[in-house]
Chain A
Amino acid sequence: MTERLSAGAMTMPRDIAPAAVAERRFAVNWRAIGLGLYLLALALPIYWLINMSFKTNIEINSTMTLFPRHPIVTNYVHIFKDPSWYLGYVHSLTYVVINVVISIAVALPAAYAFSRYRFLGDKHLFFWLLTNRMAPPAVYALPFFNLYTAVGLFDTPWAVALAHCLFNVPLAVWILEGFISGVPREIDETAQIDGYSFPHFFVKIFLPLIANGVGVAAFFCFMFSWVEMLLASTLTSVNAKPIAAVMTRTVSAAGMDWGMLAAAGVLTMIPGAIVIWFVRNHIAKGFALGRV
């Protein structure tokens, strides 16, 4: 047993499930290979986009090269110099942040209520909330356009932020409810006996206990607001144009400007990558929405 382990330790990670170690007879670690291939498959299309963003359009269209022969950064320089390009990122990030703040702020008390109390119609309300997560954005594109034009919010980040609340608020309530239910009721009762007022208790004692849950819920709201494009581009025209809508400009009469498109695409991945890095330790539990 010990010999086998030490022989295998050179090639295989020791962190595999304990049951698997006992039956391992070969030094070939199929799990690592499988995972490696999968990660490679995930990375290749992304690499291709990065690769293309450093090429000229002539090189993209004429040759098939695995890396840029004559790397250029003009595509990126152009984006950072032209306000109509870089403001696209600013607009997108603006409505995403507004959406995350609104979603978490309204979802927290609601999730607490669903987790701690029974009240008239609670189950129906919860299911109804979730049904909004199932509403296709395509269904809402046109009515949202009418609604936000009518209330004067069309072409502002608020229109997109509020529209994204349709699916992010239910999701946030669902995630937070899972995390809040993991905190024992006794804590609420003890705080009450100790004479804490409810708001004081909620902010000072309860919020720190579910900080992970709040982080995870914020992550998911960020994610779904950042990636959604149909509503974002329908509800804006000039002043709040998201990067997705700006990117369609690369299709012109002169043909596709692949280099610019690729550079713009690469830049849209960066905020997501940064956010993932910060939440990577909670990501596993977070993806189970606090329910394992």
Chain B
Amino acid sequence: MNNKVLDNRAWFFVLPVLVIVLFSALLPLMTVINYSVQDTIGPNAFFWNGAGWFRDILDPTTDIGARFAGALRRNLLFSGIILLIEVPLGIAISLCMPRKGWKVGPTLVVMALPLLIPWNVVGTIWQVFARNDIGLFGYTIRALGIDYNYTVDPTSAWITVIIMDVWHWTSLVALLCFAGLKAIPDAFYQAARIDGASRWAVFVNIELPKLRRVLVIAVLLRFMDSFMIYTEPFVVTGGGPGNATTFISVDLVKIALGELDLGRSAALSLVYNLIILAICWIFFTVTTHLEGREETPG
């Protein structure tokens, strides 16, 4: 797209978006920044605290710092695990999906269904489904002789939260890949067949390169959303047992709305937001850079 016209009047087209996003992003952000450098003792009694909260949060020896470090570790672990499961699984599912015929419609509908269930209902579904007394999943696992109870055992809680996320979001990755696969012309496959390419060779040399663009979107979306996860673990485990599944969002809401600790929560918010931004920016820059380098010679 290098044939764009330079015209600064285009700003008028962007103006409505700017107004609405400034209203809902910049004003709250300023509130957050404002709170983050102040301490409060009761309503409307604020005093300057400078970078105090930020120092506390980034220092794991303080109470809040330890909480944040723990939650951050859990968040990174969670995002890492679900990306490692959902991306390969999503690719595999997309390869299994029918491309033509009457089966396509129903398959797509069933796959998209979990994506449109409100997040608290997703939590509710798994809260019940994974119960080892009244839920099919938990009951079956226990019937197999495995000790499984997500309300008391941290490992069970983690497994539940991860399986829930895989159930909830793998379809997104699969649907993105499906879109990428559909865009591959039949001629590519015919050429591969003439060359006698194996199934694996077709996947590595034809399908995977074509999937790269959609996979970038998939990884970005899944990373962002898994790193911001709140409602589902909150409903299922409430962050427990103990604080085994307390992710940053869960802790942040507890500090902000539960303990009404404005200064700490605001500072935490900013650090949290900056981490997501930084990781997304690095990922985005690296992938577009790689893409640009590979496409320029050809």
Contacts and interface: CB of A to CB of B under 8 A. Distances in A.
B228 A136 contact: yes
Contacts of A105: 16
Contact of B224 (A15, A17, A134): A134
Nearest to A51: B136
Contacts of B180: 288, 292
Given A39-B107, A135-B273, A147-B27, A15 B101 contact: yes
Contacts of B107: 35, 39
A117 B4 contact: yes
A113 interface: yes
Contacts of A64: 133-134, 139
A32 B107 CA distance: 11
A80 interface: no
Contacts of B178: 284, 287
B28 A229 contact: no
A135 B176 CA distance: 23
Nearest to A234: B257
Contact of B217 (A48, A147, A288): A288
A129 B103 contact: no
A136 B10 contact: no
Given A13-B103, A146-B31, A42 B179 contact: no
A290 to B, nearest CB: 10
A22 B24 CA distance: 56
Nearest to A172: B17
B294 interface: no
Interface in A16-74: 16-20, 22-23, 31-32, 34-35, 38-39, 41-46, 48-49, 52, 60-61, 64, 66
Interface in B189-213: 189-190, 192-193, 197-199, 202, 213
A170 B280 CA distance: 15
A42 B113 contact: yes
B23 interface: yes
B85 interface: no
A274 to B, nearest CB: 10
A227 B213 contact: no
A134 B16 contact: no
B219 interface: no
Given A43-B110, A265-B124, A19 B202 contact: yes
Interface stretch (B49-57, B76-84, B90-98): B90-98
A163 interface: yes
Contacts of A268: 117-118, 121
A34 B17 contact: no
A18 B272 CA distance: 47
A272 interface: yes
A106 B20 CA distance: 8
Nearest to A281: B105
Interface in A211-265: 223, 226-230, 234, 243-244, 247, 258, 261-262, 265
B116 A135 contact: no
Contact of A13 (B4, B101, B129, B199): B101
B242 to A, nearest CB: 20
A291 interface: yes
Interface in B129-174: 129, 133-137, 139, 167, 171-172
- Do most interface residues of chain A lie in helix, strand or loop, or is the interface mixed? helix
B94 to A, nearest CB: 10
A35 B96 contact: yes
Given A22-B193, A284-B182, A136 B273 contact: yes
B99 A17 contact: yes
Scoring A106, A185, A247 by chain B CB atoms within 10 A of each residue's CB, the highest score goes to: A106
Closest 9 CB pairs of A and B: A272-B116, A143-B28, A113-B13, A288-B179, A117-B10, A138-B249, A109-B13, A136-B228, A106-B16
Given A31-B95, A258-B128, A284-B179, 18 more contacts: A60-B134, A61-B134, A117-B6, A118-B4, A119-B7, A132-B25, A134-B280, A136-B269, A144-B28, A226-B118, A234-B257, A244-B121, A265-B121, A269-B121, A271-B116, A272-B116, A285-B179, A292-B180
Interface of B: 1, 3-11, 13-14, 16-18, 20-21, 23-25, 27-29, 31-32, 92-93, 95-101, 103, 105, 107-121, 124-126, 128-129, 133-137, 139, 167, 171-172, 175-176, 178-180, 182-183, 186, 189-190, 192-193, 197-199, 202, 213-214, 217, 224, 227-228, 230-231, 248-250, 252-253, 256-257, 262, 265, 269, 272-273, 276-277, 280
11 contacts: A35-B97, A46-B125, A52-B128, A117-B13, A119-B8, A136-B227, A227-B117, A227-B119, A230-B231, A288-B179, A292-B183
Interface of A: 13-20, 22-23, 31-32, 34-35, 38-39, 41-46, 48-49, 52, 60-61, 64, 66, 102, 105-107, 109-110, 112-120, 122, 125, 129, 131-144, 146-147, 162-163, 165-166, 169-170, 173, 181, 185, 223, 226-230, 234, 243-244, 247, 258, 261-262, 265, 268-269, 271-273, 275-277, 280-281, 283-289, 291-292
